Amino acid sequence: MSTVSIFLVEDSAVIRTSLLAALEDLAPVKVIGFAESADQACRSLQDLSVTGCCDLAIVDIFLKSGSGLDVLRWISTNQLALSTVVLTNYATPAIRSACLSLGANRVFDKSCEVDELITYCQALAND
């Protein structure tokens, strides 16, 4: 089992702290950074793509500036070699469809699917 390197795109410090604690406690992950805005996420992911050290980007939809959809679009356009999932409180059918069409591997609802996200991370580590 390998360790999954994660980059988190989440603007809420409270959610970021609790999510990172849960992920690091329950799955073989290493959090390598975070961003609070779409621009910051894209710059950081560009830098990380050069080294190839990021396995998974976890992206929220609503950010301090820009949106997670902008980040997904940028990742897809630049063909970054990493898995991407969305973790949002707005996992409506329309949002899920938009995220998947922009290349997200999965979409998880923050309010009721964090366990599924953890399982997803565990499966990535086993691949």
- Contact partners, residue 28, CB within 8 Å, separation at least 6: 1, 2, 3, 4, 121, 122, 125
**Cα–Cα dist 124/40, whole Å:** 25
Residue-range domain boundaries for the chain: 4-126
Is the model's pTM score more than 0.85? yes
Pick the CATH number of 4-126 from 3.40.50.2300, 3.10.290.10, 2.40.50.100, 3.50.40.10: 3.40.50.2300
pLDDT digits (tens), the chain, 127 positions:
799 999 999 999 999 999 999 999 999 999 999 999 999 999 999 999 888 889 999 999 999 999 999 999 999 999 998 999 999 999 999 999 999 999 999 999 999 999 999 999 999 999 8
Edge-to-edge strands, sheet with 56-59? 29-35, 4-9, 56-59, 83-88, 106-109
pLDDT of the residue at 40: 98
pLDDT of the residue at 38: 98
pLDDT of the residue at 17: 95
pLDDT of the residue at 127: 83
